[in-house]
Amino acid sequence: MRIDGRNQDELRKLKITRGFTKYSKGSVLIEMGDTKVICTATVEEKVPAFLKGTGKGWVTAEYAMLPSSTQTRKNRDISRLRLDGRSTEIQRLIGRSLRSVMNLDVLGERTIWIDCDVIQADGGTRCASITGAFVALTDAVNAIDKETPFETYPISGMVSAISVGIGEEGPILDLNYAEDSTAMVDMNVIMNEKGEFIELQGTGEERPFTAKEMNALLTLASKGNEDLLAQVKEIMGEDLRRIL
């Protein structure tokens, strides 16, 4: 048994609260165990300069951790007058993950901004952000569709993300902070509902890892993402009808 009593291949409890904020087209509070992230989707009727006149839209993301999200206060990026490297990497990952299931030609010349703000961090914040961002994005696209119906729906699939790692007890799924901070190997795996991989981020923290270990982690992550998406499907219900 793990620190929190879960089995090796067991997800933390998932809770998604939709319509969490008033002004965004899509907004959710996603909770995975004690990790909590607010994900919002805001629509702008314009695109970056490199897309003007192309008819294509854009989906991009920003990510931040609130100062009180960690056990010791985390300074805001504005205090350093620059975004830290970790936040830059994560928000690019979120954007890439969402664009993998978006038809930007169909979206039209508008930008959907995804903002992921971690209000409590206990491991897996980037993975929770991606899963929550997908729900917020879908709600935003559905809101646009109600106002100006799309001939072809711009979202082609679902996205979720989960962490896996190797601890003293072997491969484990959905690491909390205590597990992540001591893992010998950790990996973040982003997938779609077809079981296809969108992005893999794997690191040997304390030692290298073998192809056999990597395959075991990918198998575990595939199961985790399948379980996670099954819960998302249940939460969203008919709002996924044009995707599935």
Is residue 126 annotated as involved in ligand binding?
yes
- pLDDT tens, 89-104? 999 999 999 999 999 9
Q: In this structure, are strands 58-65 and 111-120 parallel, antiparallel, or unpaired?
A: parallel
Average pLDDT value for the chain: 95
Contact 237, 205 (CB under 8 A): no
pLDDT of 77 reads 78
E strands, the chain, in order? 14-18, 26-32, 35-44, 58-65, 111-120, 159-167, 170-173, 185-192, 197-204
- pTM (2 d.p.): 0.95
Sorted by sequence, the CB contacts under 8 Å of residue 198 that are 6+ apart come out as 96, 97, 100, 159, 190, 191, 192
Would you say residue 84 has pLDDT above 90?
no
Would you say residue 80 has pLDDT above 80?
no
Is residue 124 annotated as involved in ligand binding?
yes
pLDDT of 76 reads 81
Domain boundaries, the chain: 14-238
Q: Where are the alpha helices (DSSP H) in 108-237?
A: 125-147, 177-182, 211-236
Q: Tell whether domain 14-238 is in CATH 3.30.350.10.
A: no
Query: Sorting pLDDT into bands at 50, 70 and 90, what band is 167?
Result: very high
Strand partners, 148: none
Q: Which of 165, 38, 58, 147 is nearest to 103 (CA)?
A: 58
